[in-house]
Chains A and B, each alone.
Chain A
Amino acid sequence: MANKTAANGHGGFPWKHLIGFVLSIVLTLFALWIALGTDLSLTWILIIIFGFAFLQAALQLLMFMHVTENSTSTKLTGRVQVGNILFAAFVAIVIVLGSVWVMTAGHAKHDKHDEPKTENHGEHGGAEKSEEHGSH
């Protein structure tokens, strides 16, 4: 059945997978260290760990997910591959940007209960104040 065709892993030692695995762990530990072990400002921590996240994603695609493999069999496989990646990008963008938008617009702003706000209202954004935000 199809599982026999599962690529180079059966031949030699799966170096690609091992390197990918080790690098993933290193990147994760690094991100953890940046977040917990350094005194960088929140903005910089976010920028750096986001950078790591993108590296991590690229690593997964290259080392494990056969993104570079050419489709030798049919034209269909190539189309499926491209369609797949486009849809994945669409879903990822919807999830991330959509969540940010939904969670920061209107009343939802006040969902971050304990975050100190520098704007005109203090910690627990009261219901009366949030009224005005809903209208725009």
Chain B
Amino acid sequence: MKWDEFFVTGDPLIYGADVSIVLTMVGILFYLTRYKKWKWLWTEWLTTVDHKKLGIMYIVSAVLMLFRGGVDALLMRTQLAVPDAKFLDSQHYNEIFTTHGTIMIIFMAMPFLIGLINVVVPLQIGARDVAYPYLNAVSFWTFFIGAMLFNISFVIGGSPSAGWTSYMPLASNELSPGPGQNYYLWGLQIAGIGTLLTGINFLVTILKMRAPGMTLFRMPMFTWSSLVTMVIIIFAFPILTVALALMSFDRLFGSHFFTLQGEGMDMLWANLFWLWGHPEVYIVILPAFGMFSEIISTFSRKTLFGYKAMIWSMLLIAGYSFLVWVHHFFTMGSGAAVNSVFSITTMAIGIPTGVKIFNWLFTMYRGKIQFTTPMLWSLGFIVNFVVGGVTGVMLAMAAADYQYHNTYFLVSHFHYVLIAGTVFACFAGLIYWYPKMFGYKLNERIGKWVFWLFTIGFNVCFMPQYFLGLDGMPRRVYTYSEESGWGPLNMVSTIGGFMMGIAFLVLVYNMYYSFRFAKRETTGDAWDGRTLEWSTPSAMPPFYNFAKIPEITGLDHFWRQKQAGKVEKLTAKDIKKIHMPSNSGVPFIMGSFFFVLGFGFVFDWIWMAILGGIGVIGTLIYRSFEYDDGYYVSEEEVIETEKISK
């Protein structure tokens, strides 16, 4: 391979990206060296096993990926704004919609939610860390490396262009030659390891590490939704792992699982992809539901309505989520029997979701509602998500789906559920728990601007797409003719897209503004909350979270303590030494070896992949012989920390 094939050349947009990447790297290196931050970076962040710091790193990565995926989206909208536009060529457009979809789902939505789960869940259940803190660090670094591997594709080697679904035979060597598709396979494979480990880690954490007295049916709703999400992750992600591995064999070693030759079954890929893909939809929506439950309950000043109904509907959703995958390819033509069954299961899964919507409405009914920004996002969610849900039921009817399939109607539908569901939740959760992470709130006034800009922009962008779809505009086309008559609505849609982009910039500005000017929180209870994470005396919990593990007597324990005027004040007598896990640089190093392994496979440089593989196994062996049982925080240190923070 020649150097001019190794680097992507010939497009001014890419050269611009090259320059900005190099400048950013130089800037970061200069900053770290000039202000002697290297040691700080290593000891405080790269080697940390603290769930709160890992959570923040997840969220920072997710916001960066939201920027990247958002830029992709705006490039697409620019190209589609007018008929016969020449802004992007078809190959470039294909690459951009592929990376947009993949990044937004795998490297934005998932880490954003997992980041919030990381920060919040151990605090909500009264634990000092997760069950396997070291594994948690491995999770983060494999995710991060997977994301970086995927992201460098647009400057080195070329991006995948077969869509985020990577259907065969389009994604085969014959139709997608070069390293692009391999980036997809290995980026997702490596990040998938991290997700699977997170699933196991948090399942065990929630089952085993709850504070005494916190029975399963006293857990906060966000913890419940995380628990159900982890179960789905554990059972769904292995399917993706296997499917990706089989396609990798096809592309790298000439096997015939999904190829057109040699008795391969191309549609089996679609089948396996959606067997994972549909549960994945619920992996990114259930934690969102959990967050909205917490926020709506807090700002309505009421206990969540129908707590048990919420839980049972989530458990039902977890089971159903494995029974609906064929609705993504009704048009494959499996026949009336298959399509009818999956039509019915798809409509059935709407029922528990509907139950939840009503539960939120009844939670607000006769509540004292406070219109804070997290609450605004939650209210916006209910309205917009229902639009997405109703169009989802329309799509669920197999006969009708033949008309909607592959049109902008579908595009609009899944953006209405994923943006109004997951993205709104990410913003709501971020704002709600921001004081827990950083010790101050985001500015509410600017926050409301963000909400209105984004929500209006979102509707202006995607509402026209329903009508474009009904008018026959197919998805994944890079341009259209003037005669089609799709021009005006596309222009409106593009304007909405840019409004969302502006809203994102205002959100980032709000982070900067609040960092400079926001009033620092003096207590741990920024929103007059109900659950345990608000019960820490300091705004940001110390690294051991709780000096004394609380004893739980019922749902919304902290709220009821406050109502009864019986919030515990710690005395020196209560303090005992605390066992904590040690930091470790090994997960970061293992992640780096994964990068070498992935990069080797992407370019079919087997020697490099083997080298990386040896490194990964080496770090595993090293870990097996490492006898580190953590360390104790002395009573004096705990007392000192608690006093300082009081």
Interface residues of A (CB under 8 A from B): 1-4, 76-77, 80, 87-88, 90-91, 94-95, 98-99, 101-103, 105-108, 111-115, 130, 133-136
Contact = CB atoms under 8 A, between A and B. Distances in A.
A2 B231 contact: no
Given A2-B209, A99-B271, A114-B263, A108 B129 contact: no
Interface string B131-145: 111100000000000
Interface in B190-222: 204, 207-209, 216
B204 A2 contact: yes
Contacts of A76: 207, 216
Contacts of B579: 1
B268 interface: yes
B526 interface: no
Given A90-B319, A114-B263, A2 B336 contact: no
B111 to A, nearest CB: 24
A111 B133 contact: no
Contacts of A4: 629
A130 to B, nearest CB: 8
A135 B261 CA distance: 28
11 contacts: A76-B216, A95-B275, A95-B322, A99-B268, A103-B267, A105-B338, A108-B267, A108-B333, A108-B334, A113-B264, A135-B335
Ranked 8 nearest A-B pairs via Cβ: A106-B335, A107-B333, A106-B334, A2-B131, A105-B335, A105-B334, A91-B235, A105-B338
Contact of B133 (A1, A107, A115, A135): A1
Interface string B261-302: 111111110011001000000000000000000000000000
Given A90-B319, A94-B322, A102 B338 contact: yes
B335 A133 contact: yes
Nearest to B268: A103
Interface of B: 129, 131-134, 204, 207-209, 216, 231, 235, 239, 260-268, 271-272, 275, 319, 322-323, 325-326, 332-338, 579, 581, 629-630
Contacts of B337: 105-106
B263 A112 contact: yes
Contacts of B263: 112-115
Contacts of A102: 271, 326, 334, 338
A38 B209 CA distance: 52
Contact of A114 (B209, B239, B261, B332): B261
Given A87-B231, A111-B265, A1 B630 contact: yes
Given A95-B322, A103-B334, 13 more contacts: A2-B132, A3-B132, A98-B275, A106-B335, A106-B338, A107-B333, A111-B265, A111-B268, A113-B261, A113-B263, A114-B261, A134-B335, A135-B335
A104 to B, nearest CB: 9
Nearest to A94: B322
